[in-house]
């Protein structure tokens, strides 16, 4: 099994993972508890115009003692560590399908009898970490447990 081949397949897959630079964060505005529908409608419209909110949800209860709240979402920039964590998670959750497809096209076959004890020595790492750290020996050893050349 050729490390450069495996590395290229995995790097191509990694480069195609698109991560949004923002995430949704919800916000709440308390509108009061003793509002008639007309006043509530005016307050909601005023708050939405002021904040530029297009998508929102009102919540409350028929019990007049509860506060009526306006809930909406804003886009917040992700930190570089959040982006990296999401990229790593998505890669580790999805790389195998892509790798299996590409290696099968190259003449490899997937091994059916894989024992979990063989993977114990890889409990301290992930395929993503081996790829980023350029740990060729361990990456090939790990992939070789699942594939063989016909």
Is the domain of 124 the same as that of 111?
A: yes
Is the domain of 141 the same as that of 97?
A: yes
Q: Please tell me the predicted confidence (pLDDT) of residue 66.
A: 62
Distance CA 73, CA 54 (A): 9
Res. 13 pLDDT band, cuts 50 70 90: very high
Domain coverage including residue 130: 3-19+79-149
What proportions of the chain, in percent to the nearest 5, are helix, strand and coil? 50, 20, 30
Distance CA 55, CA 72 (A): 6
Q: What is the pLDDT of residues 89-146, one digit of tens each?
A: 999 999 999 999 999 999 999 988 777 888 899 999 999 999 999 999 999 999 999 9
Is the domain of 62 the same as that of 28?
A: yes
Is the domain of 56 the same as that of 97?
A: no
Tokens of 67: 């506060």
pTM assigned to the model: 0.70
Is the domain of 72 the same as that of 109?
A: no
Beta strand spans in the chain (E) = 22-32, 56-59, 68-77, 108-110, 147-149
Q: What is the pLDDT of residues 122-131, one digit of tens each?
A: 999 999 999 9
Print the SS3 string covering 74-108: EEEECCHHHHHHHHHHHHHHHHHHHHHHHHHHCCE
Is the domain of 7 the same as that of 51?
A: no
Distance of CA 44 to the CA centre of its chain: 33
């Amino acid at each position: 099994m050729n490390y450069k081949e495996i590395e290229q397949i995995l790097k191509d897959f990694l480069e195609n993972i698109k991560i949004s630079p923002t995430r949704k964060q919800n916000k709440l505005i308390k509108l009061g508890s003793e509002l008639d529908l007309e006043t509530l409608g005016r307050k909601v419209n005023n708050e939405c115009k002021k904040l530029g909110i297009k998508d929102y949800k009102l919540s409350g209860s028929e019990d007049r003692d509860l506060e009526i709240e306006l809930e909406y979402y804003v886009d917040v920039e992700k930190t570089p560590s959040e982006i990296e964590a999401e990229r790593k998670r998505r890669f580790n959750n999805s790389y195998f399908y892509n790798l299996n497809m590409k290696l099968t096209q190259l003449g490899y076959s997937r091994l059916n009898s894989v024992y979990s004890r063989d993977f114990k020595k890889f409990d301290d790492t992930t395929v993503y970490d081996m790829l980023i750290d350029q740990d060729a020996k361990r990456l090939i050893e790990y992939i070789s447990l699942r594939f063989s050349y016909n």
